[in-house]
Amino acid sequence: MRVAVFATKPYDERFLAAANGDFGHALTFFEARLDAGTAALAQGYPAVCVFVNDRVDRPTLEKLAAGGTRLVALRCAGFNNVDLVAAEALGIAVVRVPAYSPHAVAEFTIGLLLALDRNIARAWARVRENNFALDGLIGRNLHGRVVGVVGTGRIGALVARSLRLGFGCEVLAHDVRPDPDLLAIGVRYVDRHALLVSSDVVTLHCPLTPDTHHLIDAAAVEAARPGLQIVNTSRGALIDTRALIEGLKSRRIGGVALDVYEQEADLFFEDLSNEIIQDDDFQRLLTFPNVLVTGHQAFLTEEALTSIARTTLGNIADAESRRPLANAISARTVFG
Ligand code: NAI
């Protein structure tokens, strides 16, 4: 099938082209993100392939539909950037990669937590300046601490398991569907409030939905155990950035590690080192010594990129051959 691949980076092209040997799609790579302004590039392509920060809203979908596109293939798990109701109304199917390598994200989450807690990034910056002083680098053992995991699906369950069995943490969890395997290893499910009040660390692994939007807001910061550390490798808008900044300023929040950021679409995946960043909230975040930010890279492993490429191209092949779309998402399945 002819596929317009948007928001392409060199690594996307490398892994998609390698996997396409088994599929034979005609892939055209565009560096531009898909939005209403760039949708014209997809004119005549029955399928588009997009990533997390492409804006697949109603105006974009209307332009795609007018240009003959019938399939949006997300090369990611999250689909909060797609207007599923509009897609369905316009007869455009949406497919995604529900699971590629939960290990990639889970391992990165643990890495971020350790780097934050043990000041690894700050220590490396010092050592590069031949500053071997240790003042200000005191961390805490993870062993014995209380970690709250919000969302115990594929990624959250791996994180919970690793923290519980590997590090010996007390693990609290919150999910609309508790996982019996986690219960069996001593993970305790509690409500969101109890998790915030009782945890030393909270790590977020639920999808971004109306219910989880700004899950960490001013009230949550107020309710949290003083000194709470937060790790977010899920979606930026789970956290109200301004509330987080206030929590950091008042020291109510003891540290934050973010791989995702509410307004990341304006920043991430690009080299902006010669630009003036206009996002004052983001710049303020970077000034705190106890904040660590990475640019949405938790998924970025050889294994995950291989798996993403194969599943995405397989999803497109299913659509082309009119086979059932096992990885389809629709407004009906999501919203009931
Ligand atoms: P999953 O669908 O396997 O698990 C999500 C879990 O969240 C489910 O158990 C679900 O019941 C739970 N959940 C849903 N609504 C909830 C609510 N209101 N409160 C508490 N729990 C709720 O998804 P998976 O694969 O574990 O991914 C989790 C998230 O990680 C994705 O939604 C995506 O946004 C993010 N992600 C980030 C990546 C990165 O590179 N930083 C890469 C891949 C995923």
Name the one residue in this structure whose structure tokens are 């092209």: 13
Same fold? 2-100+301-335, 102-293: yes
Cα distance between residue 331 and residue 280, in whole Å: 35
What's the pLDDT at 215?
A: 97
Q: How far is the CA of 30 from the centre of ligand 1 (A)?
A: 28
What's the pLDDT at 336?
A: 47
Pocket residues for ligand 1 (CB within 6 Å)? 77-78, 99, 102, 105, 150-156, 174-177, 205-207, 209, 211-212, 233-235, 259-260, 296, 298-299
How does DSSP classify residue 290? Answer: T
Task: Write the CA distances from 51 to 5, 141, 251, integer angstroms.
Answer: 9, 37, 35
Domain ranges in the chain? 2-100+301-335, 102-293
Judge contact between 227 and 201, C-beta under 8 A: no
- Please name the residue whose Cα sits nearest to atom 14 of ligand 1: 206
pLDDT confidence of 334, banded at 50, 70, 90? low
Q: Is the pLDDT of residue 110 over 50?
A: yes
Judge contact between 236 and 294, C-beta under 8 A: no
Nearest to 112 by CA among 163, 152, 75: 163
What's the pLDDT at 330?
A: 84
CATH 3.40.50.720 describes domain 2-100+301-335: yes
Please, what is the average pLDDT of the chain?
Answer: 96
The CB density around residue 128, as the number of other CB atoms within 10 Å, is: 8
Cα distance between residue 80 and residue 61, in whole Å: 14
Q: What is the pLDDT of residues 232-270, one digit of tens each?
A: 999 999 999 999 999 999 999 999 999 999 999 999 999
Q: Please state at what angle helix 154-161 crosses helix 102-117, rounded to 10 degrees.
A: 50
Q: State the CATH class of domain 102-293.
A: alpha beta
